[in-house]
Amino acid sequence: MRIRLSLPALAAVALVLVATAIALIAYVAPEDADQGLSQKIFYFHVPIALTAYVMFGWGAWKALLHLWRRDPDADLESYVAIHQGVIFGALTLVTGSIWAKISWGVWWAWSSNQLVLFLVLFLFYAAYFMLRFSIEPGPRRANSSAVYAIFGVALIPVSFLAIRLANDFIHPTVFTSHGPQMSGLMFFTFCVSWASLLVLAACLYRVELAGKRIDLRLRELRELLT
Amino acid sequence: MIRARRLEKRYGAKRVLRGVGFELSSPGFLLVTGPNGSGKTTLLRLCAGLAAPTAGELDVAVTRGRIGFLGHEPLVYRELTALENLELYGRLYRVPERRERIGMLLERFELWDARHERAGSYSRGMMQRLALCRTLLHDPELLVLDEPYSGLDDDGATLLDRELAERRARSAFVVATHDPQRVEPLASLRLALG
Amino acid sequence: MTYLADVGTLARKDLLLELRARDTLPAMLLFVFSTLVVFHFVLPGGSSELAATGLLWVALVFTALLGLSRSFAAEREQGVIDGLVLAPSDRSAIWLGKALSILVFLGLAEVVALPAFALFFGDVDGSLIAGVALADLGIAAVGTLLAAVAAASRARELLLPLLFLPLAIPIVIGGVGASVADHSPRYLGFLAVYDTIFALVCWASFEYVVTE
């Protein structure tokens, strides 16, 4: 059974969840003993990053469906998912950069594996858009984009491993990454925050998809007229 | 040999083919006509397996290796000689008694003397003859020919006439052309696009 | 067996084409050599040997890109790729044949590059050579598939580096690690993992890149 909320309902759920998450982060979650107030960006940064992964994964899944079943809708869905993934990826870089500035006093830290990984992914998915823009719309573009999107999910773990390895010869001493010992309340806040971002991403995904579909339909009609 | 129903092919928002259907048996000859841009080439690419339809059903009863496709491009390497090109395709199609068959085709299409010349140095007519040799090399059961007479001089056209007439009784054909009179007597099925 | 025969036929065809036209390998050799000369002026006196080793990897990756951007030129010009796609062989054989010929070109370019590097900058040890060999496998596998993707686009030569470099970052990390770090087997192992994963993905997905 599939439950499918209407878009306005989904948007309402997203709004409520985001408001709850912000309230929890601001008023309920306890301050971190070491880092104080600045640790609170963690509740945005990490869930945003995880949401970006989910969107990249969803994009690759849709790409696989496209290649497998030749479902023309799946190409558009894959594209929109990756587009959302890139937006969340860019936000990860921004929030990570702010966090680095507050904790280490620099805007960019090569020692943060997560930031470096997102930089690599950002480059990769920027190339994905270049690829889409330089092939005429049609099955060839859909196939090539799908193959590249699938490369992306292979690249995520491989790059993760590579960046971990690179630390050994690039940074002999690593900043200790914050593995904050989360209290129950902190973990709960984190979960609500992540859930709110996931619903928000799903909502944005469907809005963009609906827009793109109308656009495509309009172009088809225009094509029929000429 | 080929059964097509409500075929549709789209490139983005552009619909190139729509609602095409036919049933071609073997031996048989489907003559596809229509103005430029009516989707002849696209239909032939679908039949040859170079593209898949966006919607509709298309059943081609032979495997890829038993299809001979002649397109707008000769599909040969310009830097290789005629002989090397046919050797390459002969190997890929696993043609039995490759050398003899290549020799015979080159003789028949009067390219034997030019067999060691680079394909890139060929004239338009010779190139089309070489493309025909490539198409017929593996003795295909289904021939998909897009404007087969283009670029051929009178001699070449006569050679092709003879080849088509001889194969008509044992193969299936899908032929697209601007100039239908030439092959009209061979046709068993006609499809006008556009 | 017929699969391997097809791969052999296709790879041999590429080598024959290169012998005829000679437009890729000489360019790669000259490029890698001139890049090494440029590096001499890039490295200020007193730079460590490690920096030179790192730069060697830059030279190798860009030389590979140069060769890759030409790799489907013959097929693209005349649409010959359709001829290969029509043939009864499995389409992945086209990828494997092309990747093998690229591998040969890369190997030949490095036969020049590594001794030149040793002459100009310092020693070349076994782990560097092993790293280069493993990196070549990954570069040839991924690069060939992306070259086919780029060949179907408008931007072509421009697009290939953009598609390829993010995927080459793990190769560079593995390669540099193997040549400069203390535990080179770890990095060689990583390169082998990369090669395996991406070779499988490329092998399975190439067909979709060349069909509609």
Cis amide bond preceding A157, omega within 30: no
A206-210 contacts, C-beta under 8 A, 24 or more apart: A206/A7, A206/A10, A207/A7, A208/A80, A208/A83, A208/A84, A209/A76, A209/A77, A209/A80, A210/A7
A32 secondary structure, DSSP code: B
pLDDT digits (tens, 9 = 90+) for C178-193: 998 888 899 999 999 9
Smallest CA–CA distance, residue B4 to chain C, in Å, is 18
Q: Does the distance separating the beta carbons of C88 and B63 come in below 8 Å?
A: yes
Q: Does the distance separating the beta carbons of C181 and A135 come in below 8 Å?
A: no
Residue to mutate among A131, A153, A156, with most C CBs inside 10 A, is A131
Report the alpha-carbon distance of residue A72 to residue A138 in Å, rounded: 9
- The predicted pLDDT at position B67 comes to 95
Confidence tier at B101 by pLDDT (50, 70, 90): very high
Predicted ipTM of the assembly: 0.92
pLDDT along chain A (226 residues), means of 10: 75 92 86 74 90 96 92 90 96 92 85 88 95 91 95 95 83 49 82 93 94 90 83
Closest residue, chain B, to C4 (C-alpha): B92
Is residue A58 less than 8 Å (CB to CB) from chain C?
no
Tokens at residue C27, please? 């360019």
Smallest CA–CA distance, residue B1 to chain C, in Å, is 18
Q: C153 φ, ψ to 5°? A: -105, 170
Smallest CA–CA distance, residue B16 to chain A, in Å, is 11
pLDDT digits (tens, 9 = 90+) for B46-95: 999 999 898 899 999 999 999 999 999 999 999 999 999 999 999 999 99
pLDDT digits (tens, 9 = 90+) for C97-114: 999 999 999 999 999 999
Q: Does the distance separating the beta carbons of B13 and A139 come in below 8 Å?
A: no
Q: Does the distance separating the beta carbons of B52 and A70 come in below 8 Å?
A: yes
Report the alpha-carbon distance of residue A69 to residue A65 in Å, rounded: 6
Closest CA to C70 of C18, C20, C33, C136: C18
Report the alpha-carbon distance of residue A111 to residue A134 in Å, rounded: 35
- The predicted pLDDT at position A114 comes to 85
User: Which H or E run includes B58?
Assistant: strand B55-60
Q: Does the distance separating the beta carbons of B12 and A136 come in below 8 Å?
A: yes
Query: Which residues fall within 8 angstroms of residue A184, CB to CB, at 6 or more apart?
Result: none
- The neighbours of chain A, by the rule of 3 or more Cβ pairs under 8 Å, are B, C
Provide the total of helices (H) and of strands (E) in chain B, helices listed first.
Answer: 5, 8
Report the alpha-carbon distance of residue A170 to residue C173 in Å, rounded: 10
Q: Residues of chain B with pLDDT > 70: what percent?
A: 100
Which residues from A are below 8 Å from B14, CB to CB? 138, 223
Q: Are C205 and C145 in contact (CB under 8 A)?
A: yes
Q: Are A213 and A72 in contact (CB under 8 A)?
A: no
